[in-house]
Amino acid sequence: MSNSSYNADIDPVEQFARGVKPNKEFYDKVITTKENGTREMIYEETLHPHTGDAFYAKAGQVIRIEQRPHQHNGRTQISDILFFTPDLEQWSDHLSTTAVEGFCPQIYGGLWTQSKFMEKIVTLVADEYPYELLSDPENNMKVQHMFFAAHCSKEYNMCAYGNDAVHMNSCHENFIQALNRVPAIAAIKDEEERRKRVQFLADRNDLNIFQPNQIIPDREGVTRGKMFLSPSVPDGTGLEFYCEKDLYLIASNCPYADQNLPFHEAKPNPIYIQVFETGIKPYTNDHLGMVKGDEWEKLVYEKFKTGEKETSVRTPDSYNLKTK
Ligand SMILES: [Zn+2]
């Protein structure tokens, strides 16, 4: 008889999470450079409404993403973000990250790159969101403001508002714009190849930020995102990511703004991006010490070569069909 009760020592997701232990002492030193004023601002840029942009930072630097709603119409601005290595070979990956960190990053939590690498690309070192402004009286569970998932796209907008919405901006379109600003993309001479690469990369699931949410079962028991209206946060509310590698932050200023108005009426605000030099280099570029890259791939392909795993090509005729 199988046992349907819960056992954390067997739950695979729980086991994955236990394998990832952040070095809190190290990140506290990074956090202290802000408190002591020993970090140096490298640059500040604005992510304008209805745009996507790419922001470069080096390993050891901190990227701050800041809200200043009261300089504008008072509304908090939702953003969608991805991190890429400059060669675009690795990115902050939904699958790797949610398997070990859950859907919403916590302080000291990392964003991890995709399978075959699973290296840490950034670590969350500040989350100044006023969580006391968030609540769900329906269930009294915590409301988060970050989650790994999809981003708005022409398709989703058309699902919701009809085909005329194809003309409206979306995070996907902003990601396409942002990726086209990365040198490794600009260097692809063939236009078709370049567009294909951009579309693949823009299609990655990303981290939604400043977007109040719960990922919970709905009334029918279907687990899905429950999105809340965003309260107006104080100017200077920020998130900070410590860069474990040289990288580009690819960021979209989401046309849904603060989710307080119907999509067509939403008026997005600028978001402010600052990059600081902490003077503290990452303590390792191999946080998990696992087999990866070419060695990882070889282990899989060896099994095909030796015949341990079947890879003969499947054509419609290759099945043992009962009727022809
Ligand atoms: Zn969006």
pLDDT digits (tens, 9 = 90+) for 8-44: 888 888 888 888 888 999 999 999 999 999 999 999 9
List, for residues 177-206, the tens digit of each pLDDT value. 999 999 999 999 999 999 999 999 999 999
Residue 3, pLDDT > 80, answer: no
Q: Using alpha carbons only, what angle is made at residue 97 by residues 248 and 62, rounded to the nearest 5 degrees?
A: 35
**Residue 180: in which H helix or E strand, if any?**
none
78 CA from centroid of ligand 1 (Å): 7
181 CA from centroid of ligand 1 (Å): 19
* Average pLDDT of the segment spanning 243-248: 98
Instruction: Please give the pLDDT value at position 323.
Output: 63
169 CA from centroid of ligand 1 (Å): 9
CA distance linking residue 128 with residue 146, whole number of Å: 12
List, for residues 135-156, the tens digit of each pLDDT value. 999 999 999 999 999 999 999 9
201 CA from centroid of ligand 1 (Å): 16
Instruction: Please give the pLDDT value at position 324.
Output: 55
Calculate the average pLDDT of the chain. Answer: 95
Q: What is the number of alpha carbons within 13 Å of residue 283 lying toward its C-beta?
A: 13
247 CA from centroid of ligand 1 (Å): 22
Instruction: Please give the pLDDT value at position 262.
Output: 85
List, for residues 71-86, the tens digit of each pLDDT value. 999 999 999 999 999 9
255 CA from centroid of ligand 1 (Å): 6
Residue 212, pLDDT > 90, answer: yes
41 CA from centroid of ligand 1 (Å): 28
Instruction: Please give the pLDDT value at position 145.
Output: 97
CA distance linking residue 105 with residue 209, whole number of Å: 10
179 CA from centroid of ligand 1 (Å): 16
3-class SS of residue 178: helix
